[in-house]
Amino acid sequence: MLLLFDIDGTLLRTEGAGLAALNDAAAALFGPHVHCDGIPAAGRLDPLIMADMLVRAGIAPTRETMATVRAEYARRLPARLASPAFTVRAMPGVDALLARLRGEAPRAGAVTGLLTGNYEETGRMKLQACGIDPGQFQLNVWGDESPSDPPTRNDLPGVGLRRFEARHGRRLEAERMVIIGDTPHDVACAKAHGGRALAVATGKYGVDELRNAGADEVLETLEETDRVLAWLLGG
């Protein structure tokens, strides 16, 4: 079994520190007229958010320009995460759930990992800022790993399944993969590959919206550890 967690809105909340850091990076590189305000972000890939920001400002999102913005974003994110202006924290129930999974997932033959729109370096920064050890996740798929142009989140579960097969020497049936996320994008990417989706209403979307998106299970939070574990490991 493969359990893949989203980061923002699912495992943690940064209260906009990431988007503020991206705005800092854009302003430093191009001027204050370049920013991501108003661009949809929840559940989307960092490369798409960044490209939308550049295109809106009339800047071509070339490989070189995107790499420059990415590096500047990573340089500025730690200061925003440490700022008292933002409340950076793990979501309710997350610490207890991850602690239990560290012991119970191996016994159940499950691998835990991340499937997120974040770039690797900045996703790890967010986890560490919330006291979550990135090293506990064994198989990760990051926001820049879609093979499509433009990239799409629906590609990412396929990357995860191929990575599982390469590392473990066996194919994993898609229904043995679970995406845990807080947006319809997380649900859609799971369903695009025949996986299961556990949606949690700790982000922008409510229970009804997530249920209507097709999630197999919807929870208000991840606080009921026994219930969450039974669902994740019992499938």
pLDDT (tens digit, 9 = 90+) per residue, 65-122? 999 999 999 999 999 999 999 999 999 999 999 999 999 999 889 999 999 999 999 9
The verdict on 41 and 104 lying in the same domain is no
Q: What's the whole-model pTM score?
A: 0.96
**Sign of the C-alpha dihedral computed for residues 13, 128, 4 and 193 taken in this order:** positive
Instruction: Report how far residue 83's alpha carbon sits from residue 49's, in angstroms, rounded to the nearest whole number.
Output: 23
pLDDT tier for residue 9 given thresholds of 50, 70 and 90: very high
* pLDDT at 235 > cutoff 70: no
Domain with residue 149: its CATH number is 3.40.50.1000
- How many CA atoms lie within 13 Å of 152's alpha carbon, on the beta-carbon side? 10
The verdict on 45 and 98 lying in the same domain is no
Q: Which pairing describes strands 196-200 and 177-181: parallel, antiparallel, or unpaired?
A: parallel
The verdict on 151 and 163 lying in the same domain is yes
Query: Are the C-beta atoms of 213 and 188 separated by less than 8 Å?
Result: yes
Q: Domain of 120?
A: 2-14+89-234
pLDDT tens for 134-168 read 999 999 999 999 999 999 999 999 999 999 999 99
The verdict on 197 and 223 lying in the same domain is yes
In what side-by-side order are the strands of the sheet with 177-181?
A: 139-141, 111-115, 2-5, 177-181, 196-200, 217-219
The verdict on 163 and 200 lying in the same domain is yes
* pLDDT at 200 > cutoff 70: yes
